[in-house]
Amino acid sequence: MANSLRYFVGNWKMFGVPGSYKILDKINQFYHKDQKNKNKYKIIMAPPDTLIYDFSKRFKNKKIIISSQNCYHQDLFGPYTGKVSPFMIKRLGVNYTLLGHSECRSAGETDEIIKKKFSLALKNNLKVIYCIGENKIQKRTKSTVKVLKKQILKVISKNNNFNNIIIAYEPIWSIGSGSIPSPSELKKNITILKNFIVKKFRIKSHPKFLYGGSVDKNTIKHFKSIKELDGFLVGGASKSSKNFIDIIKNFYK
Ligand code: PGA
């Protein structure tokens, strides 16, 4: 079940100006010096739309892969003020998009809308990092697995290619809060979900799963032993090169 290639994904949310490429420069330099471990992981960064063109050009032949944070679902072009389609994102040289982040869901994105985004993104050759997660009440009432399975089934369908999908499990109660799930609980849930997907979608190997929610240089230690995790989606700590690099360093320490 364990995949030895790990993903360290940063989500900048609404952060960054053109000069913020320097943060990525430092992460890129660290990567090149990290002889011992650099073949064991990939780095993906999701800056806001205002920066993805510049950053994707700048880091084209470097280690950092650029992702968008979201995309629009109705069409390739059209009368949708303020929206950006997966077609437009792909033309910038960007190969990934996040979808279904809980902050987008709480701003009104339903599973139905996310499903449309998901299909259109994959159709336009964007790989998708699909975020799922339960809220505090759902956790308290022990509905976590049920909620996560539903989020998976509402959006992913049998004809989707799991080579182009990464699932990011981000408990809503954990995002930006400093609280994390216990490693045993996390391991158990990821294992259940990976097996569920294999069975349900009749795929041969386990899908990739990231964990997100208050990942930083300290909490990363608790996740090291969870072989079922294929990586991490990092919000707050991805805005500083030092914090992000420390996460990678501490993971492999
Ligand atoms: P956090 O955010 O690392 O700041 O908790 C994670 C996310 O929202 O993707």
Residue having the nearest C-alpha atom to atom 1 of ligand 1: 235
Whole-Å CA distances, 134 to 79, 117, 151: 34, 21, 10
Q: Would 113 be classed as within a structural domain? A: yes
Q: Would 166 be classed as within a structural domain? A: yes
Q: Would 55 be classed as within a structural domain? A: yes
Active-site residue (options: 101, 109, 134, 228): 101
Q: For the chain, how many structural domains are there in total? A: 1
Q: Give the CATH number of the domain where residue 195 resides.
A: 3.20.20.70
- In this prediction, residue 61 carries a pLDDT of 83
Which residues' Cβ are closer than 6 Å to ligand 1? 11, 170, 175-176, 212-215, 233-237
Residue having the nearest C-alpha atom to atom 6 of ligand 1: 235
Q: Would 40 be classed as within a structural domain? A: yes
Indicate the top mutation candidate among 8, 167, 214, 240 to test ligand 1's pocket, ranked by most ligand atoms within 8 A of CB.
214
Q: Would 1 be classed as within a structural domain? A: no
Distance 214 CA to ligand 1 centre (A): 6
Please give the Cα distance from 227 to 231 (Å, whole number): 10
Q: Would 61 be classed as within a structural domain? A: yes
Give the number of C-alpha atoms closer than 13 A to the C-alpha of residue 54, restricted to the C-beta side. 14
Q: Would 204 be classed as within a structural domain? A: yes
Residue having the nearest C-alpha atom to atom 2 of ligand 1: 235
Please give the Cα distance from 10 to 237 (Å, whole number): 8
- In this prediction, residue 3 carries a pLDDT of 52
Catalytic, 185? Answer: no
One DSSP character per residue, the chain reads ---S-EEEEEE--S---GGGHHHHHHHHHHHHH-TTTGGGEEEEEE--HHHHHHHHHHTTTSSEEEEES----S-SSSS-TT---HHHHHTTT--EEEE--HHHHHTT--HHHHHHHHHHHHHTT-EEEEEE---HHHHHTT-HHHHHHHHHHHH--TTS-GGGEEEEE--TTTTTTS----HHHHHHHHHHHHHHHHHHHT-SSPPEEEEESS--TTTHHHHTT-TT--EEEESGGGGSHHHHHHHHHHHH-
- In this prediction, residue 120 carries a pLDDT of 97
Q: Would 162 be classed as within a structural domain? A: yes
Ligand 1, atom nearest to 103 Cα? 8
Distance 178 CA to ligand 1 centre (A): 10
- pTM beyond cutoff 0.95: yes
Indicate the top mutation candidate among 233, 238, 244, 247 to test ligand 1's pocket, ranked by most ligand atoms within 8 A of CB.
233
Distance 218 CA to ligand 1 centre (A): 14
Catalytic, 134? Answer: no
- In this prediction, residue 62 carries a pLDDT of 86
Active-site residue (options: 109, 134, 170, 228): 170
Distance 184 CA to ligand 1 centre (A): 21
Indicate the top mutation candidate among 102, 132, 215, 216 to test ligand 1's pocket, ranked by most ligand atoms within 8 A of CB.
215
What is the domain extent for residue 61? 6-252
Per-residue pLDDT of the chain (253 residues; tens, 9 = 90+): 445 899 999 999 999 999 999 999 999 999 999 999 999 999 999 999 999 999 999 999 888 999 999 999 999 999 999 999 999 999 999 999 999 999 999 999 999 999 999 999 999 999 999 999 999 999 999 999 999 999 999 999 999 999 999 999 999 999 999 999 999 999 999 999 999 999 999 999 999 999 999 999 999 999 999 999 999 999 999 999 999 999 999 999 9
Distance 78 CA to ligand 1 centre (A): 32
Please give the Cα distance from 234 to 167 (Å, whole number): 14
